[in-house]
Chain A
Amino acid sequence: MNLLTDFFQYQFLQYAFVATVFVAILTGLFSSIVVLKRMEFIGEGVAHAVFGGIAAGLFFGLSDMITALATAIVFAFFIALFSSRRLLTENNLIGIFMPVFMSLGVILLSFIDEFVPDILGLLFGNILLISLVDIYILVIVTFLAGLLFLFYRKEILYYCYDEQVARLLNVRVKIIHFLLLVGLAVTIVSAIKIAGTILVTAFLVFPAVVARFYARNFSLMLILSVACNLIAGLSGLLLSTYFDLPPGPVMVLFLFVLFLISYFHSHFLYQAS
């Protein structure tokens, strides 16, 4: 089969495959938090906010990936800080800080004379243009996220389910809140270069919505979310390579198909029970 020989022949396809697997796992894990804590807006928010960081990187002559990561962490820190008193929701704050960070980026860019095409590439992503460094970053971030979910599974669950009682029980809610937001921001940054803003948002929302229809508990929701992303991601990559289509949008459509199937199937399930 052509596709198989292509896969072994072209390094970019191997990179795309590995990157898809790690992006799917990483975003799959965090998607449950995004959906259960109602932060669906965060993918867009961080992706656009880091625009400011990338502009700062270009302005000061620093690596765009490092400034993007630093900006995402600062962005997450502000969201965590201002939402900790629970007067405002995370979504409110994403809507407030995103335009501020983007505006700072645009102002900084106005000082740079030449046009910088990299920024568009970073915002829209291309899974077929991945470097080995991108993959290393993804692997490290996925490993750290895995540790976070493994060691703090119970605390994360209690924080998502009933934050008030979690606090009463001395669960370190503030630290969990901060770690999850920073983890999410770093996840989004390490995935957008590969997947683009739209696909990252899709990877962060669809799987948990689908998994929630079926999962009896939180651990199962995490596993099903990752599985959902892997199915859509790898099917999308395969089909787009075979028919020479843009991979990101094909993956989004696969996620949508999974959503439709689960939506109608769960409707049937709940009616039957």
Chain B
Amino acid sequence: MKTSKETVLKVENLSYTAGGSSILKDISFQINRGEIVGLIGPNGAGKTTLVRILIGDITHYSGSFEVKGMIGYLPQYRTIDRTFPITAYEVARMGLYRYEKRASSFRKKKNIRKKVFHALESCGIGHLASHKIGFLSGGEYQRLLLARALLMDPDLLILDEPEAGVDEMGKSTFFDLLENVQSSKKPVVLMISHDIGLVFKACERIMCLNRTLHCSKPSVEMSVSDLQSVFSNMDILIPSNDHYQEKHTQK
């Protein structure tokens, strides 16, 4: 029986050095079942490196981490060639690879089509299944990548800059969708983003990373000084909070 406090991701003393310089230094945190956590930090803070370690893309790190269950991953939008000859259906089906490997009986194989269409439809792009990915808009493509990540049957869902390349309308549809998915399936979400406003809106807890972890707090308790520990010398707007106003008038 899973309790709400069960730890899904536990990272301990994680460090990574490349080319003589320290990219990540002594990072420890944990994410419990049911949480949506945002990871913010400036360019070069090591956010993507941390993700690459978690998904097994980088192996020569020190320290350790443990994931209870499967990882679902939504990569950065710009890392994928949109002219690749592949349909939306095939992209989503990729998420079922582990399941397909285990599935042997005819009935299970038949389920695959059903599962893929269900995921596409729940992401609102069922009608685009037979389309080549190059013909999808930025928002539709992002939802397709979410459908694929969800088909991975994740306990931990990692979203790497899901807002990049998507317009405001696309963003709000995407996060409405994510909330619905959250309530029905309950994977833990770790979201990396440059959009601080968005992280505050979507995440319950926020971690600030700049080579090392500077803070990890519920989003309602975050202060300007917390944010300035990673984004120095910058006016920062925290939505539905008057910190920005205070900071600005002090100047």
Residues of A in contact with B (beta carbons under 8 Å apart): 36, 154, 157-158, 160-162, 164-171, 211-212, 215-218, 220-221
Contact = CB atoms under 8 A, between A and B. Distances in A.
A169 B84 contact: no
Interface in B82-99: 83-87, 90-91, 94-95, 97-98
Contacts of B79: 164
Give the interface size bracket for B toward A: 20 to 34
Contacts of A160: 84
Contacts of A169: 94-95, 97-98, 152
A221 B132 CA distance: 12
Given A162-B80, A164-B75, A216-B85, 4 more contacts: A158-B94, A161-B94, A167-B55, A218-B90
A171 B86 contact: no
Given A158-B97, A216-B132, A167 B57 contact: yes
Given A154-B97, A170-B97, A217 B86 contact: yes
Contacts of B94: 158, 161-162, 165-166, 169
B84 A36 contact: yes
A222 to B, nearest CB: 10
A91 to B, nearest CB: 16
Contacts of A215: 85
Interface in B124-175: 130, 132, 148, 152
A257 to B, nearest CB: 22
A208 to B, nearest CB: 9
Contacts of A154: 97, 100
Nearest to A163: B57
Contact of B90 (A36, A157, A165): A157
Q: Is the interface of A mostly helix, strand, loop or mixed?
A: helix
A166 B95 CA distance: 9
B73 interface: yes
Contacts of B87: 216-217
A216 B132 CA distance: 6
A157 B97 CA distance: 12
A165 B75 contact: yes
A157 B75 contact: no
Given A158-B94, A170-B97, A165 B85 contact: no
B56 interface: yes
A212 B85 contact: yes
A37 to B, nearest CB: 10
Nearest to A170: B98
A165 B90 CA distance: 14
B191 interface: no
A218 B85 contact: yes
Interface string B52-78: 100111000000000000010101000
7 contacts: A161-B80, A161-B86, A164-B79, A168-B73, A168-B152, A170-B101, A217-B85
Contacts of A158: 94, 97
B71 to A, nearest CB: 6
Contacts of A157: 86, 90
Given A164-B55, A212-B83, A217 B90 contact: yes
Nearest to B158: A168
Residue among A158, A162, A212 with max Cβ neighbours from chain B (10 Å): A162
B85 A221 contact: yes
A246 to B, nearest CB: 33
B84 to A, nearest CB: 5
A72 B75 CA distance: 35
B245 to A, nearest CB: 42
Contacts of A166: 94, 97
Closest 6 CB pairs of A and B: A215-B85, A169-B97, A168-B55, A221-B85, A216-B132, A217-B87
A30 to B, nearest CB: 16
A171 B85 contact: no
Nearest to B90: A217
Nearest to B97: A169
B119 to A, nearest CB: 15
